[in-house]
Copies of this chain bind each other. A is one copy, B any other.
Amino acid sequence: MKKINIGIVGLGTVGTGVAKILKKNRAALLQQTGAVLELKTVADLDIKTDRGVTFKKGVLTRDADRLLNDPEIDIVVELVGGIEPARTFVLKALNNGKHVVTANKALLAEHGLEIYRTAAGNSVDVAFEASVAGGIPIIRAMRESFVSDRVLGFSGILNGTSNYILSRMTDSGGEFRAILKDAQKQGYAEADPTFDVEGIDAAHKLAVLAGLAFGRHVTMKQIYTEGISKITPLDIEFARELGYRIKLLAVCRGSEQEIEARVHPALIPETHLLSGVKEAFNAVFVRTRDVGPTMFYGKGAGMMPTGSAVTADIAALARDIVQGAVNRVPPPLYAVKKLPPIKVKPVRDTVIRYYLRLTAADMPGVLSKISGILGRHKISISSVIQKGRRARGGAVPIFMLTHEAREADLQKALREIDRLSMMKQKTMVIRIEDGAL
């Protein structure tokens, strides 16, 4: 009976999940892969905390090198997160001829090219299903199911924390700050929530998916990123009234020649499937040339969902090892062909519909003034709602939806509008995505 030795670096939530899954499914995994999957070594700086899983003597170590340099280890699972020392660990494992499974989107977004090439150069594989959307098998779909197809675009709810906060704001009401605090207490948000609520985590995932979808490298700098911290209950409420939900969306569409790549809050029609994605759930809506629209929905994080995705990668590699297969599914095209990063359309050239919340003094002529400026910049309004006096100092919020307009034109118009003495607050802008991709 073949035995495959596995080493885990990083025994956090997901690492613990993987250890539990490997233990309780030993027989099923043997039946499915043809090998005993043995968790030989687990490295973490903290090997004292009881994580609810018992390890055989000698499995736990504080020394990552012990498993990275162990010639008996076949697969290294990197669950440290962040760039360093994760990058060093992954490269060392690959250079030592070990396959790597990682859930590290930041690392792949920043250093994917180096990692994929190092893997190919050493005839080993990097598997990364758990790096995007946790338990949802979107990476496998992109690499294996859409193999003959061409992705035209995808839009995803890729950050559970942001979706949890926005869902709470939508369903129970409340201010961003208060709900964030509550989310932190309940473990839905980190102590430092910046990566989650400012869209950086979603941008990392967009980069990973875009690399597969378009076969080209997208750098973090190329992705326009905007978070949800400025969204107010007024925005949520007005969007609802008009039949929209506000979601933090990662949008990417185009072709090998040029793509749009952006992460920002967006109004989505309530009839679109993505609008029904609530709480901390994730979903990726994909449009391909041949299959058309598809959607993949599920839990984007958590011990068992992400642990399950990691284990699926381990099992796939184990099947390859048993069969003597190497690089069965090739790395993303740009890593094979040494292609430069893809061209990304500057966000100022994006043509899209907009939601505007203007805060103006409650006086005659305001609307005509504002719509005049918008008109001069080729921005036409599809609906306007002005509601009684709500804000401080006699200012009233005016809500507008525009027809499609170029972002640069809109920004110019808004700079002009926000300079008017009658304007009491900077205008809030949220993009509208109708989901058509």
Whether A145 is near chain B, meaning CB under 8 Å from some CB there, is yes
Q: Considering only CB atoms, which chain B residue lies closest to A307 in the complex? A: B290
Q: Which of A29-78 contact B (CB under 8 A)?
A: 29, 31-34
A290/B304 in contact, CB under 8 A: yes
Which chain B residues lie closer than 8 Å to A25 at the CB level? 148
CA gap between A309 and B141 in the complex, in Å: 11
CA gap between A299 and B273 in the complex, in Å: 14
Whether A311 is near chain B, meaning CB under 8 Å from some CB there, is yes
Whether A393 is near chain B, meaning CB under 8 Å from some CB there, is no
CA gap between A323 and B307 in the complex, in Å: 28
Whether A12 is near chain B, meaning CB under 8 Å from some CB there, is no
Whether A329 is near chain B, meaning CB under 8 Å from some CB there, is yes
A305/B319 in contact, CB under 8 A: no
Which chain B residues lie closer than 8 Å to A135 at the CB level? 290-292, 294
| Cross-interface CB contact of A316 among B144, B271, B308, cutoff 8 Å | B144
Which chain B residues lie closer than 8 Å to A316 at the CB level? 144, 147
B297/A291 in contact, CB under 8 A: no
A297/B297 in contact, CB under 8 A: yes
CA gap between A320 and B328 in the complex, in Å: 7
Q: State how many copies of this chain the complex holds.
A: 2
A291/B295 in contact, CB under 8 A: no
B330/A148 in contact, CB under 8 A: no
Whether A276 is near chain B, meaning CB under 8 Å from some CB there, is yes
A149/B308 in contact, CB under 8 A: yes
Which chain B residues lie closer than 8 Å to A32 at the CB level? 147-148, 329-330
Whether A195 is near chain B, meaning CB under 8 Å from some CB there, is no
Whether A21 is near chain B, meaning CB under 8 Å from some CB there, is yes
A298/B295 in contact, CB under 8 A: yes
- Whole-angstrom distance from the CB of A80 to the nearest CB of chain B? 22
Number of A interface residues, CB 8 Å? 60
Whether A325 is near chain B, meaning CB under 8 Å from some CB there, is yes
Whether A137 is near chain B, meaning CB under 8 Å from some CB there, is yes
Which chain B residues lie closer than 8 Å to A288 at the CB level? 308
Q: Considering only CB atoms, which chain B residue lies closest to A32 in the complex? A: B147
Whether A174 is near chain B, meaning CB under 8 Å from some CB there, is no
User: Given A290-B135, A291-B298, A298-B295, are A333 and B31 also a contact pair (CB < 8 Å)?
Assistant: yes
Whether A324 is near chain B, meaning CB under 8 Å from some CB there, is yes
Q: Considering only CB atoms, which chain B residue lies closest to A295 in the complex? A: B297
Which chain B residues lie closer than 8 Å to A308 at the CB level? 146, 148-149, 288, 290-291
Q: Considering only CB atoms, which chain B residue lies closest to A337 in the complex? A: B31
- Whole-angstrom distance from the CB of A349 to the nearest CB of chain B? 29
- Whole-angstrom distance from the CB of A63 to the nearest CB of chain B? 28
A29/B148 in contact, CB under 8 A: yes
CA gap between A273 and B323 in the complex, in Å: 39
Q: Which of A133-161 contact B (CB under 8 A)?
A: 135-137, 140-141, 144-149
B333/A325 in contact, CB under 8 A: no
A-B contact pairs, 15 of them (CB 8 A): A22-B148, A31-B336, A136-B294, A137-B140, A140-B141, A148-B308, A148-B311, A272-B276, A288-B308, A293-B299, A294-B299, A295-B297, A295-B298, A319-B325, A320-B328
